[in-house]
A and B are shown apart, each in its own frame.
Chain A
Amino acid sequence: MTRKRVGAGITRPLFCLSRSRAVQLIHDPVLLTVIFCVFALIGLLVVYPLVRVFTASLFQRGAFNPRYFLYFFEGRPYLLRPFLNSITVGVLVAVIGTVVGFLFAYAITRTNVPGKSIFRWIATFPIISPPFLLALSAILLLGENGIITKWLFSRFGIRWSIYGLPGLVLTETLAYFPLAFLTLEGVLSGIDPALEESAMDLGASKLRTFFRVTLPLATPGLAASFLLLFIRSLEDFGNPVVIQGRYPVLTVQAYLAITGMYNLPLGATLAILLLVPSVLAFMLLQFWVGRRSYITVTGRPSTAGLQTTEPYIKWPLFAGLVTLSGIILLFYGMVFYGAFTELWGVNHAFTLDNFRYVFSTGASYLVNTLKLAGIATPLGGILGTIIAYLVTRKDFPGRRALDFLAMLNFAVPGIIVGMGYVFAFNTPPIQLTGTAAIIILVFIFQRMPVTIRDGIAMLQQIDPVIDDAAADLGAGFFRAFRRVTLPLVAPALVAGMAYMFSACVTSISAVIMVVSAKWQLVTVALLHEVDNADLSQAAAYGVVIIVVVLGTIFLMDFLVRNLLGRWRHAR
C-alpha cells in the first residue's frame, strides 16, 4: 500500500499557511530555528542581491527612471542587438546540443558500440573545464589565421570567420552538450525496456518503435535538456569574451558596462534582459518537466535497455561518437600543446616558461582559489544538504517558496550574481567587497543549487521511513540529520562536493566583479592573459586548472570508494 508522503506528492500553493502545520512547528523550536535561519540566509544572500540589480536598473540617483528599458523597447542597437544575439545563440545551442546529446546518449545506452566508457568520459569532460579554453582553441584552429582555416583555404579556397555566431554556437555546444547527454542518458536508461519490447512484439519495426515509443517517452528529457542548455548558453561568459567578435552578447556587454563604463543602470538593465528569459526557462523546467528529469553528475545510471546491434545504425553512430570525441580531444589537446610553446601561434618551440610564469606570478592566485573554494565547498555542501533535507522530508509553511528561491541561482547567470553582490555589499551595514568572505559567499550561493539538486536526488533514494523512525525514537533535527541522514548520503555528498569544488575553481562570470587586490582568483588571471592575447600563458593556466580539478575529482572518487567503509553499504 502506498502511503501519501507529505512533501513529495501533495501539491500546495506557494505560500499556504496551514494553521496546523504552523502550530506543529511551534512545538519543534529547533526545526523552527533552522528553517528561519535558512530563510534568512537565502533572503539575504540570494534574493537581496537580485533585488539590488533590479533597483539599479530602475532607479537613478533615487528617482524612478527605467531609461535603458525604454531605450531597449525603442530598439537602440546597443541594447537590442545583444539581447537578440543572446537568445539566438541560446536557441541554436539548445537545439543542436540536445540533438547531439541525444544521439550520443542513444549510442551509449541503446547500442553495443565498443569503447563506451572512454566516450562517456570524454563527453563529460567539458563540464569541469575551465572557461575560455574552447574559444581559444577555436581561434587557433579555425580563426582567421587558424590551422584548419589556412588549410581549407589553400585546398578549397573556402573562407569563413569563426568569430561571432558560428564560434559561439560551436564552443557553447561543445561546452554544454554533456549536460544534454547526461540528462538523456538517464532518461533513456529509465525507459522500461518492456515498453519497446512489447511494441516490437506486436509487430512494429525498429524505426516505428523508435518514433512511436522511444522518442515520445524521451520527450520530457528532450525538453529538459533544451531548457537546460538554453539557460547555460545565456549565462556563458568565457567563450563570448574571446570569440564574440562583432556579435555582442548580453553577458559580456553587461560586464563591460559595469566595469568599463561604471554605468550601473545600463549594466543592470542588460543584466535584467538576460535574467528574464533565463528565469522563464527555469520555471518551465521546474514546473512543467518536473524535478525527476534533473540529472546529477554523480549519478550512475544503468545501461539496461534494448540493445541495437544493426550495423547500419550502430556504425554511423559510432562514427559520430568518434568524430565528436575527436573534436573535443583536438580542442583540449591544442590547449595542452599551446601551454608548452614559446609563443602560441608563431613560435612553437618547447618551453616550460609558461608554467614557471604560472607558478610564480600566478602562485598566489592558485593558492587563493584553492583556499577559498576549499572553504566554500564543505559549507555549501552541508547547507545544500540541509536545504534538500528540509525540502524533501519536512513540511512547513513556505516550503515550496524555499525550494524555488534556493534553486533560483541555478537560473541566474553568474554575472548577475556577482553584480548583485557588489551592489548589495559595497556599503555598510554589510560591507564585504574586497574580502575573502564575499568570494566564498558567491561561490556557495551560486553553486549551491547543484548540491541541493543532488541532495534531493540522494534523499529520494533513502526510504523516508528511516527519518520517521529516528524522530519516533526521540531524535531532534540535528541529531537525526547528523547520525542518520548524513551517514547515508555521505558517499554521494562527497562525490557531489568534488564537482562543486571544480565548479568553484572554474567559475568566472560570478566572481569577476568580486575579486580584489588581496584576493585574486586563477580564472580571472586566465582572463587577463586572454585579454592580452598572451595565449601560451593562458594555456598554461588552463592546463594547471584542469590538472587541479581532475586531481580533486579522482581523489574524492578514491575516498568514496575506499575509505568510507561502513557507510557505503547502506542501501
Chain B
Amino acid sequence: MSRWFLALLLLALGISGLAATKVLHIYTALDVDEAKIYIEAFQQKYPDIKVEWVRLSAGELLARLRAEAANPQASLWLGGPSDTFIVAKMEGLLAPYKESLGWQYLPAKFKDPDGYWVGIYTGFIGFASNKDYLEQHGLEPPTSWYDLLRPEFCGKLSMAFPYTSGTGYTRLATLVFLMGEEKALEFEKKLSECIHHYTKAGSAPVTEVGLGEVAVGIAFSHDVIAKGVAKGYPVVLSFPKEGTGYEIGAMALIKGGPEPDLAKIFYDWMLSAEAQSLYKKWFRVPLNPEAEVAEGLITAEMVNLVEYDALWAAENRDRLCELWQRTTGY
C-alpha cells in the first residue's frame, strides 16, 4: 500500500521532470489575444518548434525573472516597455544577441547599445473615454492631464498600478518628465483621490471604459484602439496636449534560459517585416520600416511627446514605485 503511494508520488515528480524536445518557453507582457497572433504565426512558419508561453504583466514578469534567476524557466521575453528591460539588464537577467540582423538595422534609440534588448514596437499613452458617458453629460474627451481632476471625471477614472504594469509606470515616469518629481507625485496623489480603482494590467482600463464601469481610462493608444474601438466598444481616444509619454516595446533573450537557440530563431523572426506586419491587427506601430501598417494608425508625428529618458526611468523604477506607494497609500 505504501508502495502505491510512493509510486504515485514518483510519477508525479517524474511528469514534471520530463523535458520535451524542441519546445520554446516564452514569457510575454503582451495581451494574451495579441501574443497568440504572433506566436501562432511563428509556429506556422516553424512547425517543428512548439511554443509554451505565459502572459504576465510587466511588473510581474520582472518579478518572475528575479525569482527564477538561479534557474530560469523561459528563454525569451516578448513585449513590454523597455524600462523593465533596462532594469533587467542592470540586474544581469538578460543575454545579448547583437548578431541578429534585425538588431543591427534598427536606429540607436530603439535598442540597447550592448545588444541586450531590441525594440519591436512603439506606443503612446492616451486617454480612453466612454462615448455614451460623454454624450450624456455633454462633455468632450479630456485633452489635458488636468482634465482628469475635473469633477465630471473625478471618481470615474481607472488606470494601472505603476508597480505591476508597464503602462502604469510609463505614465508615472511621463509625469515626472513633464512636471518634475515632486510635482508629479503631488499630481498622482490628487489623481489617486479621483480614481475609481487601480488595475493590475495596463490595458484593463480600456475594457472598463468600454463597459461603462468608468468614464475615462489611461492606456496605450494601440490598446485603446484594438481592445476598445475595434472591438465595438463605445470608446474614443484622445491625448493630453501638454505632452504624453511613449514606450518602446522590447524583446530580449533571458540569460540562462533553457533553449537559447530556439529563442534566437524567434527573435530574428519577430524583427522581420513579415512578423511586424501582423501588428495591423492590434494597431501597434512597428519599428521595421518595411512592415505594413494598419489604416488610420496613430503615428509619432500626430502626438505631442515628452522627452522620455528610458534609462533614467529604468534606474529609478523601484525608488519611484515605493515613493508612489507611500504617497498615495496604494
Contacts and interface: CB of A to CB of B under 8 A. Distances in A.
B231 A260 contact: no
A144 interface: yes
Interface residues of A, number: 61
A371 B16 CA distance: 12
Nearest to A386: B5
A245 B55 contact: no
A557 to B, nearest CB: 24
Contact of A361 (B1, B32, B163): B32
B63 A261 contact: yes
A517 B163 contact: no
Given A78-B330, A375-B8, A436-B15, A145 B213 contact: yes
Contacts of B164: 256, 259-261
B118 interface: no
Interface stretch (B197-205, B284-292, B307-315): B197-205
A259 B60 contact: yes
Interface of B: 1-2, 5, 8-9, 11-13, 15-17, 25-27, 31-33, 36, 52-57, 59-60, 62-64, 66-68, 70-71, 73-74, 156, 161, 163-164, 195-197, 199-201, 203-204, 206-208, 210-214, 227, 231-234, 318, 321-322, 325-326, 329-330
Contact of B16 (A248, A422, A437, A533): A437
A112 to B, nearest CB: 44
Given A163-B196, A518-B73, A534 B33 contact: yes
A517 B74 contact: yes
Contact of A144 (B74, B213, B232): B213
Nearest to B214: A144
Contacts of A81: 329
A109 interface: no
A478 B3 CA distance: 11
B212 A345 contact: yes
A256 B196 contact: no
B156 to A, nearest CB: 7
Interface string A486-499: 00000000000000
Interface stretch (A8-16, A18-26, A185-193, A425-433): A425-433
A143 interface: yes
B67 A433 contact: yes
Contacts of A482: 1
B234 to A, nearest CB: 7
B251 to A, nearest CB: 16
A448 to B, nearest CB: 14
Given A345-B210, A375-B8, A531 B326 contact: no
Contact of B326 (A76, A261, A515): A76
Contact of B233 (A346, A427, A532): A346
A528 B32 contact: yes
Given A144-B212, A260-B164, A433 B68 contact: yes
Given A261-B63, A437-B13, A431 B208 contact: no
A433 B71 CA distance: 9
Q: Sort A-B residue pairs by CB-CB distance and give the 9 closest, nearest first.
A: A145-B212, A533-B207, A260-B164, A435-B16, A77-B329, A436-B16, A262-B63, A245-B197, A345-B211
B163 A261 contact: yes
A246 B196 contact: yes
